[in-house]
Structure formats: C-alpha cells, structure tokens
Amino acid sequence: MTSTLNPAVGAALRDQQIELPSWAFGNSGTRFKVFAQKGVPRDPYEKVADAAEVHRFTGIAPTVALHIPWDKVADYGHLARHAADCGVALGTINSNTFQDDDYMLGSVCHPDPSVRRKAVDHLLGCIDIMDATGSRDLKLWFADGTNYPGQDDIRARQDRLAESLASVYRRLGGQQRLVLEYKLFEPAFYTTDVPDWGTAVSHCLALGDKARVVVDTGHHAPGTNIEFIVAVLLRAGKLGGFDFNSRFYADDDLMVGAADPFQLFRIMHEVVKADALRPEAGIAFMLDQCHNIEPKIPGQIRSVMNVQEATAKALLVDADALARAQQAGDVLGAHAVLMDAYNTDVRPLLAEVRAEQGLDADPVAAYARSGYPERIVAERVGGSQAGWGA
C-alpha cells in the first residue's frame, strides 16, 4: 500500500510525547465510594510497570509523573532505574500539600508561618526527589483558599503565596522548572488562592523564566474558552504544560477527549500553530485523570489515543488556506478550513503511523490480547492496593 501520510505530519505525530499520571493506575473514586479493581498496583513500582504498558502499545507515552507522598519510595534512583527497565522514564513530580491535618486552613498561604514552613519544606523535598529522578518539572497545585467571607485576608494570602513560591523557586536547579496549576474552586468554595490563569501567570512572571503555568482542562468554569487561555500563555512564553482530562460539570477527571473532543482539537490547534508540539518547546502534555469505573490501563490507552487524534486533526489544518481566508475576512471560509480538518477521520492515518513504528494499529485491542490484564490479576494478590493517599 502506498503511504498517504504527509511526512511532516507523520514526523510530528511520531515525536509527540504524552506523560501519564501514576495515580491513574491506582484505585480512585468520588467522596461517595472508591470501587476497588482487581490487579491494581500495590506500590509505585507496579504503577510504573502499568504505565509502561500504555507506552508499549501507543509508543508516545514515555514518561510517568509521580505524586509525592503517594509515590514515596526509599530510593528514587532505584525507581528511576526500574522505570528505565520497563522502557519509560520518571517525569513531573507532583507535590501534595492538601492531605495533612495541618493544612485545614491552607498550606503555603496558611496564616501560621510554621505550617507554611512545613509546606515549603515538602516542596523543597520534592526538588530533592527531582534531583534523584532527573525530573524537569515540579508541579504545584494548592488546595488553599477560604470558605467564608472574612475568614482570612485575601491580599495577605497572596503575599504569603508569593513568598513561599520564591523560596521554592530559589532552590530549582538550572534545568528544573516550577509549573503552577490553577483551579477555579474546590476544596475551597469562597476564595481559592490560585483560582485562574491570571493569578498563576502573575506569580510566574514575578518568579522568572523557570516558572510557568499549567492548564488543567477540568479547572475552569463552564463555557470558558480554554484555547484562548492557551494562546495567550503561549504568546507570553508562559505555558508550562497541560493536565488533560474531561469535565461535564466540574473537576470530573474523566478521560480527555470524551466530553468535548472539539475543544481538545481547538486546544491542539493553538499548540500546533505556535509550533509548541515538539518536545523541545518545553510544554508538558500530561494526563490528570481518574478511572473510577472503567479499567485503568485501557482507559489511559484510550486517553492517549484521544490526544493523538486531536493532534493529528490539528496538524491537518491547512495553515495557508486558513491564513488566506482570515486575511480576506472570509469568515465562513476560514471556519470551513478548520472544520474540514476536524471532520477528517484520522484513524487510518494513525494506523499508518503506528505501523511505521512497529505498533499494532489498534492499541486497545492489542493490549487486551497481550495477556497483561490477566497476569496482573493473578499476580497482584495480597498487599494493599494503591489509591488516593498511597
């Protein structure tokens, strides 16, 4: 069969890298119930092994992000070597300053300096881990905020945040970065200390070049134009990465591309236009999802494929035709160029890309046939399954 694949599109798709969250492989749920699944990892080593399966069948998920302390181990260098043995590498280190009793009123914004010190020490400890794993990014998401008007001083909390962030920033090595994630609300409901991209970017600008913003697609109000935020951050050189997932209502953490594949395409279109897909562009394309009712490894494979499909469509946008139509004020023509790409069935094209990489055209089916799902159910007996908090 002769290849129909545009070489530039093929190369861009082969180079794409998507990072998997270790926590997607553990048990998760809502505050109502966590349903345990058979074969779920009991420790970070097994989580990494599962992530490696996703890479084995998709070829574009070579790194796995850790969450500390959920993925605490005695020897991070050893975990990094285990990852290499499995065919992947350790990626972003996600900090956790939201699951300790001391953090009830906040962490880095807490009114008590000793709690702020404890939170900052945790973040510095995460950088020590990055030194051992070779990770580039420290991801910061703060649950800090207030529930009631008058509960605390909004501006004083911003000052505490700025001071805490500066202490962490100073400790970063030359190649390391701090990526700051914002979230509209939850667990705080009245004020959140980093609620939006504006607050995040203003702190990152004050910190310097090694601080960038993370866009978690689930962290916006309904109707927010996320691709606009992406475009503005890319223009400012301040987009650090994504936490991809889908939302219908709030921070649902569903599979990316499930709720709104068109939004995902629009986001990837902005990324492609800014030539920011290349790994060297320094944008971390991470998933941040929980598979509460679906099997986890296939859920991650499907999610990676959804990002890949949206990317392929974005790469198919005829940039010249689009620019011509835009210049000419041809509203419908410009829109049609975009929709033509979005409406293309890219599955045959992706099957070709996978064939070139020696991969099965259907990663979900190939995984199902691999014997791995049965093996982990048989082998992972005893011990306690990993989940939120472990």
Contact residues: ligand PSV, CB under 6 A: 94, 141, 181, 183, 216, 243, 251, 288
Pick the closer one to ligand PSV by CB: 60 or 287.
Answer: 287
The residue at minimum Cβ distance from Mn ion is 243
Show the site string, 195-234: x = touches Mn ion by CB under 5 A, - = not: ---------------------x------------------
* Residues contacting 366, CB < 8 A, separation 6+: 57, 359, 360
Which residues have C-beta within 8 Å of that of residue 291, sequence separation ≥ 6?
A: 24, 28, 255, 299, 300
Establish if 19 lies at the interface with Mn ion (CB under 5 A). Answer: no
Minimal distance, residue 375 CB to ligand PSV, in Å: 28
Residue 58 or 289 with smaller CB distance to ligand PSV: 289
288 is a site residue for Mn ion (CB under 5 A): yes
Binders of Mn ion in range 237-266 (CB under 5 A):
243
**DSSP code for 382:** S
Neighbours of 34 (CB within 10 A): 16
Q: Tell me whether residue 192 or residue 385 sits nearer to ligand PSV (CB atom).
A: 192
Question: Does 152 interact with Mn ion (rule: CB under 5 A)?
Answer: no
Work out what residue 251 binds among ligand PSV, Mn ion, none; the CB cut-off runs from 5 to 8 Å by kind.
ligand PSV
| Per-residue tokens: 239 | 């987009």
> At residue 254, what are phi and psi to the nearest 5 degrees?
-80, 175
**Among ligand PSV, Mn ion, none, what does residue 94 contact (CB within 5–8 Å per kind)?**
ligand PSV
Cβ(340)–Cβ(318) below 8 Å: yes
Closest approach, Cβ 12 to ligand PSV, in A, equals 27
Long-range contacts of residues 218-225, Cβ cutoff 8 Å, at least 24 apart: 218/243, 218/245, 218/246, 218/247, 218/250, 218/251, 218/252, 218/253, 218/288, 219/181, 219/182, 219/183, 219/184, 219/243, 219/251, 220/184, 220/247, 221/184, 222/249
Tokens of 117: 């010190």
* Cβ at position 313, least distance to ligand PSV in Å: 26
**What is the smallest separation between the CB atom of 28 and ligand PSV, expressed in angstroms?**
9
Q: For binding to Mn ion (CB under 5 A), which residues are involved?
A: 216, 243, 288
